[in-house]
Structure 1
Amino acid sequence: MSIIKSKNLVHEYIRRDEEGNVESIQVALDNVNLNVEPGQFISILGHNGSGKSTFAKHINALLTPSEGTLIVDGMNTSDDEYTFAVRQTAGMVFQNPDNQIIASVVDEDVAFGPENIGVPTEEIIQRVEKSLKMVGMYKYKSHSPNKLSGGQKQRVAIAGVMAMEPKCIILDEPTAMLDPDGRKDVLQAVHTLNKEKGITVILITHYMEEVVDSDYVFVMEKGKVFMEGKPREIFKDVKLLKEHSLDVPQVTQLAYELREAGVPLPECVLTRQELIDGLKAAKASGFVPNLSAFVEMQAAKEVSNAIDISGAKDKVLILDHVSYKYSPGTAYEVKALDDVSLSIKEGEFIGIIGHTGSGKSTLVQHLNGLIKSTDGVIYYRGQDIYDKDYDIKDLRTQVGMVFQYPEHQLFETTVFKDVQFGPKNQGLDEKEQIKRAYEALGLVGLPEEFYLASPFELSGGQKRRAAIAGVIAMKPAVIILDEPTAGLDPKGRDDILGMITEMHRKRGDTVILVSHSMEDVANYVDRIIVMDAGKPAFDGTPKQVFAHYKELEAMGLAAPQVTYVMNDLIKEGMAVDAGATTVEEAKASILKAFK
């Protein structure tokens, strides 16, 4: 018998005015028919707004159907008498663990769920211990959750659901905010629970690599299931997925592009080992590619991608022996930055990476004076920003910050007013304010139909565009973006990063991108600063930095998938570029090695 079965499931979000009249109806789920068998590991894909999270909330009875039925372990979620039992059967882990961690000590937090459903005290103690051991967090049982990293918090959230002993766990983008190490830990814990305990897992994700080991995949669009099958069946149609705002694992993309270039590889490659084996077989067969058209295409691409920063070599920001402590002089003192000295030049596109707690966000918040260093000095265009006569308000219009959660910096009644606020705050006249707001909204590609809408009615990707427009309307010399693509679908991610890159080319701004995605950093930036234990561990081009992939792994980071592929190929005797960090670089190097 299916543990989850939806039949013609419909969900409508109804918006009403102050008198209770219906203003609009949005169909989020449109006749969804879907079955999940006990013990399966299921992944659900889809772009932002496709209905994935709405469906997940139905499984946990947080929402009930507008039409149709959803049965969980034989219980109809529309029947109020089953609500409590449904939530015991299907536990939910949200994207942000801070939204479901409530206690001040880890073991108390894990105990909260079982206590709530009336489990006897002795049994709660056993369940908490067992759950924490399952997710590898038992040694932290007496810690405060506030002192844990993002990945550790997420594992505690999973343990809290596990302690309720559900038959099914639903994870709604559980790794969106995590560094590579945290992502790996959380997925490992979930796969262990699935394999060893037979717990049904439903994973909603935008990371295609996380889907490869699933038993079955459902792809949603406009509230419907438009594709379903095993991972290999789903990822074989690369073009179709891209057309629907999705992506494939990087190794699958590389194999697909090599196949398009004539390399005799299997139809759908999902893992590094499959690609290595396929390339070895192609080499043994004596395959030689036709490189002439490819070389011409590469040369044209390099010319079009060239960014002219000649003459823009002045140092815009200098950090001179900067240190920072949180809660100095208390038992909770933490050294977040440790004697950091570095300089940032005009017109650079810089990526900052590091594990959770490495000091990335603390570092960038120093650059526009949101945090004042405990020791050391910061110079903006040669001026000490800590000088008593320095205008810190003016600095914040010159060094603009787009935060990780854009909804935290959107506040006006309309998008246009929100974007206009920065220039207004700079004391510009109304004509100039309006001109800059139009320019900025045009640059970020937000359609005019949204200009007079409330910013809180926008999708995640649209909110990010509005937040970025609000910063660039002030015409800052430096733009800092803290995880601007977290939680976005692949097309939304590429749109935002492509827009930032295009803006950087046109305007020559200095851009600083903080990211947990090694692939994004490799694809877009010119220079990477790796933070570890509050100080820069590496500083160089993507090729230079990702050459140290083993050291990066020891810091809780990783390299792009293709970097590992290239190093695997070198071990197999192929003369490829170990420093390739993008699909394009890897493809070019592999084709040349065949030649």
Structure 2
Amino acid sequence: MGKEMVQAHSLVYEYKKYDEEGRETDAARAVDQVSLQIQKGEFVAILGHNGSGKSTLAKHMNAILTPTGGTMWVDGKDTRKEEHLWEIRQRAGMVFQNPDNQIIGTIVEEDVGFGPENMGVPTREIWERVEESLKAVNMLKYRHHSPNKLSGGQKQRVAIAGVVAMHPQCIVLDEPTAMLDPNGRKEVIRAVRALNQVEEITVILITHYMEEVIYADKVIVMDQGRVVMEGTPREIFSQVELLKSYRLDVPQATLVAYELKKAGMDLPDGILTREELVEALCRTAAQSSERQIINAAVKDTDSRSFCQKDEQAPAAHKLPGAIKLDHVNYVYGSGTAYEIHALKDINLELGGGEFVGLIGHTGSGKSTLVQHLNGLVKATDGHIYFHGEDIYGAGYDMRRLRSRVGLVFQYPEHQLFEVDVLSDVCFGPKNQGLSKEEAQKRAKAALEMVGLGEEFYYQSPFELSGGQKRRAAIAGVLAMEPEILVLDEPTAGLDPKGRDEILDQISKLHREKKITIVLVSHSMEDVAKYVERIIVMNQGEVLFDDVPREVFRHYKELEQIGLAAPQVTYIMHALKEKGFPVDEDATTVWEAQRTVLEALAGLKS
């Protein structure tokens, strides 16, 4: 491929801390002696837990940050030299997690043309670049649309087109799909791969979604500011336990293969895709020598104690609900040119100690729906009842409702504001009129529930890691002892281990405290693993409402509305097509492992 696009040599970056007088008090090393080379035209993925230093490293690649020590070269230019800054930023474009922070134009084509115009590109060439960039990300037909009217995935592709229009040789994408639904994620990754393969642009992708890494040429894993692993996706994902020790994960196909291999099956390391897994299992099925191993593995899987959710409660959602929505409609901007019918005739009952998953494409009405549950938003028409009382009735105590139906927003750390963690968690109970002692007792119990011990009580909430902030914010709602806990995308932007820790804590609360949980999520895998009932929203309406196996059976309809099934479900359908007698409605890794072993034992008996 030739010359290096990005080269770091013993790179160090320290964040300085200052006191109120402006004196330096401390320095935290975010990047520690990193040396790496990225060739022109390569597609490189950078993985690492929250706080591993990957975003700090990325910001050196277009000189947003400059080294504290060591050197960073971009296309042969030293980022510390001010005279190179303009050239470096033209050569390496940056796309961030939230497209709304990057889109400034009122019309898509104006937004895409903003960068080239700033660079002094002649007008005729600007329009040529706008057209070719929108074509490259498959957004040309939206050139005259307002960005505000686009979905999350479309906005992110416009943000990428805006960078492409500046004709960079390299694009650095910092978690560009963290806020998107499954379809939006697919669209963005497809656009990024096309830029790499067709336009030969160097791509550096930072992500927590392991499936997005499969097609990279090289994977770099960071931990505590250092590069700890480097290799092809197959080399990296062959080391499941090591990755888990770095708070990371592997694609679901890789994990299913790993669990089957642990159960004694002869499968190759580093299976990456469902096609590879299906092919490997077909080869295994053709070998008859494995029958005893498989029968033993089936028994072993049987006897292992898994915390499986009970989906057999055939009509868990037929239990009397604490909250009842009766013909609820909600219209934004009623009577204006921007009128949007966000909820259409919603009839639902929620409660009775359930664990409910709420899924839908970006803009499907999920967040609007959950904001109705504790009266933050008032229905345009229809009624909402809490334990039989109409919450819109005269004199209804909304404050009491909000302490019984707790809502944790998408980025709950934005809800933190007090001087220390304990004070922050005490805020809700104090507002309920409890004494200082009682509020502290509740706060300490809530912090224990989310796994934050005494050592966190007097820390500033702003000095916590992403996952710890999330847990502190959830504790703040739990301290009010709600009957129903609503979580809107509580794991967005967290590393895999942080995601699992939060969801495991929530699951434990549900089991032990019998709290009703409503989980809004874009991750089909998380929903399949934890919830007992799924409500699917589409364009303001309830499309499905059933147990996960039944909902994901409709995976083709889900795909049509921007969703998907868990990866496992696709693997099972592919195996079924090859004649394997598997349970094609399996939705979790554990279910997949069990049904594959049973199927192979059956084939060999």
Taking the aligned partners of 1:393 and 1:103, their CA distance within structure 2 comes to 40
Could you tell me which of 505, 515, 518 is aligned with 1:512?
Answer: 518
In structure 1, the partner of 2:565 is: 559
Taking the aligned partners of 1:473 and 1:522, their CA distance within structure 2 comes to 28
Could you tell me which of 411, 414, 429 is aligned with 2:435?
Answer: 429
* Contact 1:90-1:168 at 8 Å conserved across structures: yes
Alignment CA distance shift 1:273-1:311 (3 Å): closer
1:182-219, Cα deviation, whole Å (9 max, x unpaired): 00000000111111110000000000000000000100
Taking the aligned partners of 2:393 and 2:559, their CA distance within structure 1 comes to 40
1:380 aligns to 2:382 (yes or no): no
Give the letter for the 1:150 counterpart: G
Alignment CA distance shift 1:306-1:563 (3 Å): closer
The Cα of 1:291 is off from its aligned counterpart by 3.5
Paired residues for 1:304-323 under 5 Å: 313-323=319-329
Alignment CA distance shift 1:177-1:15 (3 Å): same
The Cα of 1:314 is off from its aligned counterpart by 2.9
Could you tell me which of 189, 192, 199 is aligned with 2:191?
Answer: 189
Could you tell me which of 40, 43, 55 is aligned with 1:41?
Answer: 43
The Cα of 1:42 is off from its aligned counterpart by 0.3
Taking the aligned partners of 1:285 and 1:217, their CA distance within structure 2 comes to 34
Taking the aligned partners of 1:340 and 1:489, their CA distance within structure 2 comes to 34
* Contact 2:6-2:37 at 8 Å conserved across structures: yes
**Secondary structure in 2 aligned to 1:401?**
strand
Taking the aligned partners of 1:566 and 1:349, their CA distance within structure 2 comes to 25
Taking the aligned partners of 2:512 and 2:589, their CA distance within structure 1 comes to 25
Could you tell me which of 112, 123, 126 is aligned with 2:125?
Answer: 123
Paired residues for 1:324-335 under 5 Å: 324-335=330-341
1:240 aligns to 2:242 (yes or no): yes
* Contact 1:307-1:505 at 8 Å conserved across structures: no
1:21-70, Cα deviation, whole Å (9 max, x unpaired): 22211000011000000000000001110010000000010000000000
Paired-residue identity, %: 60
Taking the aligned partners of 1:115 and 1:40, their CA distance within structure 2 comes to 28
Could you tell me which of 293, 299, 319 is aligned with 1:295?
Answer: 299
* Contact 2:421-2:460 at 8 Å conserved across structures: yes
In structure 2, the partner of 1:154 is: 156
Taking the aligned partners of 1:298 and 1:53, their CA distance within structure 2 comes to 43
**Secondary structure in 2 aligned to 1:27?**
strand
Alignment CA distance shift 1:506-1:216 (3 Å): same
Taking the aligned partners of 1:447 and 1:79, their CA distance within structure 2 comes to 46
Taking the aligned partners of 2:549 and 2:129, their CA distance within structure 1 comes to 47
* Contact 2:325-2:349 at 8 Å conserved across structures: yes
The Cα of 1:283 is off from its aligned counterpart by 0.7
Could you tell me which of 485, 506, 518 is aligned with 1:500?
Answer: 506
1:284-341, Cα deviation, whole Å (9 max, x unpaired): 1123234456435535525786699999933111111111111111111111111111
In structure 2, the partner of 1:227 is: 229
* Contact 1:113-1:161 at 8 Å conserved across structures: yes
RMSD after superposition: 1.7
The Cα of 1:447 is off from its aligned counterpart by 3.3
**Secondary structure in 1 aligned to 2:198?**
helix
In structure 2, the partner of 1:168 is: 170
- Where structure 1 has 5 or more consecutive residues not aligned to the other structure, the ranges are none
Paired residues for 1:261-272 under 5 Å: 261-272=263-274
**Secondary structure in 2 aligned to 1:521?**
helix
The Cα of 1:570 is off from its aligned counterpart by 0.7
* Contact 1:110-1:128 at 8 Å conserved across structures: yes
Taking the aligned partners of 1:100 and 1:182, their CA distance within structure 2 comes to 17
In structure 2, the partner of 1:467 is: 473
**Secondary structure in 1 aligned to 2:329?**
strand
In structure 1, the partner of 2:452 is: 446
Could you tell me which of 91, 94, 99 is aligned with 2:93?
Answer: 91
Taking the aligned partners of 2:457 and 2:501, their CA distance within structure 1 comes to 19
What is the TM-score with the length of structure 2 in the denominator? 0.96
**Secondary structure in 2 aligned to 1:265?**
coil
1:495-543, Cα deviation, whole Å (9 max, x unpaired): 0000111111110000000000000000010110010111111111111
Alignment CA distance shift 1:583-1:308 (3 Å): closer
* Contact 1:111-1:128 at 8 Å conserved across structures: yes
What is the TM-score with the length of structure 1 in the denominator? 0.98
The Cα of 1:450 is off from its aligned counterpart by 2.3
**Secondary structure in 2 aligned to 1:95?**
coil
Taking the aligned partners of 1:238 and 1:566, their CA distance within structure 2 comes to 22
Taking the aligned partners of 1:235 and 1:6, their CA distance within structure 2 comes to 24
**Secondary structure in 2 aligned to 1:301?**
coil
* Contact 2:555-2:565 at 8 Å conserved across structures: yes
Give the letter for the 1:2 counterpart: E
* Contact 2:298-2:598 at 8 Å conserved across structures: no
Taking the aligned partners of 1:456 and 1:524, their CA distance within structure 2 comes to 29
* Contact 2:49-2:246 at 8 Å conserved across structures: yes
The Cα of 1:113 is off from its aligned counterpart by 1.1
1:383-412, Cα deviation, whole Å (9 max, x unpaired): 111112111111111110111111321111
Taking the aligned partners of 1:307 and 1:522, their CA distance within structure 2 comes to 11
Greater Cα offset, 305-314 or 501-510: 305-314
The Cα of 1:148 is off from its aligned counterpart by 1.1
* Contact 1:350-1:513 at 8 Å conserved across structures: yes
Give the letter for the 1:464 counterpart: R
* Contact 2:528-2:587 at 8 Å conserved across structures: yes
**Secondary structure in 2 aligned to 1:393?**
helix
Give the letter for the 2:169 counterpart: K
Alignment CA distance shift 1:573-1:290 (3 Å): closer
1:585 aligns to 2:591 (yes or no): yes
Alignment CA distance shift 1:87-1:447 (3 Å): farther
Taking the aligned partners of 1:181 and 1:541, their CA distance within structure 2 comes to 22
**Secondary structure in 2 aligned to 1:487?**
coil
In structure 1, the partner of 2:542 is: 536
Matched residue count: 595
Taking the aligned partners of 1:60 and 1:409, their CA distance within structure 2 comes to 32
Taking the aligned partners of 2:453 and 2:95, their CA distance within structure 1 comes to 34
1:397 aligns to 2:399 (yes or no): no
* Contact 2:317-2:349 at 8 Å conserved across structures: no
Alignment CA distance shift 1:520-1:210 (3 Å): same
In structure 1, the partner of 2:62 is: 60
